[in-house]
Each structure stands twice: as structure tokens, then as C-alpha cells.
Amino acid sequence: MAFFALSRHEPLVLLSATELASEYHRLQEENRQLQRAVTSHAVIDQAIGAVVVLGRMAPEEAWRALRDVSQRTNVKLRTVAEHILAYAQGSTLPDPERTELAKAIVRYRRGEEPAVLDEGLHASADGDRGAH
């Protein structure tokens, strides 16, 4: 049985067994990467929803806040999203992420009171951290 590679830019190419096996492994890896990306996007989307509720803000601003927390703490976006989801379910949020999230909520919320995360943690409008 002959196997051919289809391409928009090249004519039909006959594949050897080695090339076919290589292509099979490449496609398996691509499939794994796509599955990880879909899972990662779901976690990030859920975290955006949590920030919408926590910060009483629009999804676009919640996305910006989440991205800011990741950049300012040098923690991968997916990891920040996982931490925020755990926080929304009663866990603690690492201090640097909690501080940056409070600041980001103040930055992106439109004309409302400062965010309150945990007991007594406030982020003022100038971004300073309040008392515990």
C-alpha cells in the first residue's frame, strides 16, 4: 500500500515507511500541544470569570488584570489562573499575586470603591497596599 503526503503547495509526494512514521509522531505531538492549549484556555477563561466577580468588572478588564498579575509577578498566566480559581474556592492566593491582583482591579475597575481581597487587604487608588 502506498501513502502520499497532501500539501497545498507541493504535488502529491510518496512517503516511505520512515517518513510516514515520522509524520505520525509529528501529528501526535501537535495533537498533544493543541489539547494542552485548549485546557489552558479553559482555565484562563474560568479565572477571568472569577476576576469579573471578585473585582466587579467587565470581562475585558478582568483579562487585562489577569495578564498584569502574570507579568508583574513573573508567573505564567496559566499558573496565576489556577491560583485565582483555587482562591475563589477558598484557598489562599500567594501574597505577590494577591497584591498585584488588588492593584490591577483598582487600575481597571471603572469608578468604584477599591477592591477588597481577603480580610482587610485593600489596594488604594495609587496602588499602595493597605493594612492587614
Considering the domain boundaries, does residue 46 fall inside one?
yes
Supply 3's cell numbers.
501513502
Residue with cell 471578585: 54
Range of the domain at 25: 17-122
| 114 DSSP 8-state letter | P
3-state secondary structure at position 85: helix
Q: Which amino acid is at 55?
A: G
Considering the domain boundaries, does residue 130 fall inside one?
no
If one counts the domains in the chain, the total is 1
pLDDT digit string, tens, across residues 67-97: 999 999 999 999 999 999 999 999 999 999 9
Considering the domain boundaries, does residue 6 fall inside one?
no
Considering the domain boundaries, does residue 71 fall inside one?
yes
Specify whether the CB–CB gap between 117 and 54 falls below 8 A.
yes
Considering the domain boundaries, does residue 7 fall inside one?
no
Rounded-to-integer distance, Cα 51 and Cα 22, Å: 43
Specify the pTM: 0.64
Low-confidence ranges of the chain (pLDDT < 50): 113-115, 119-132
Rounded-to-integer distance, Cα 105 and Cα 75, Å: 18
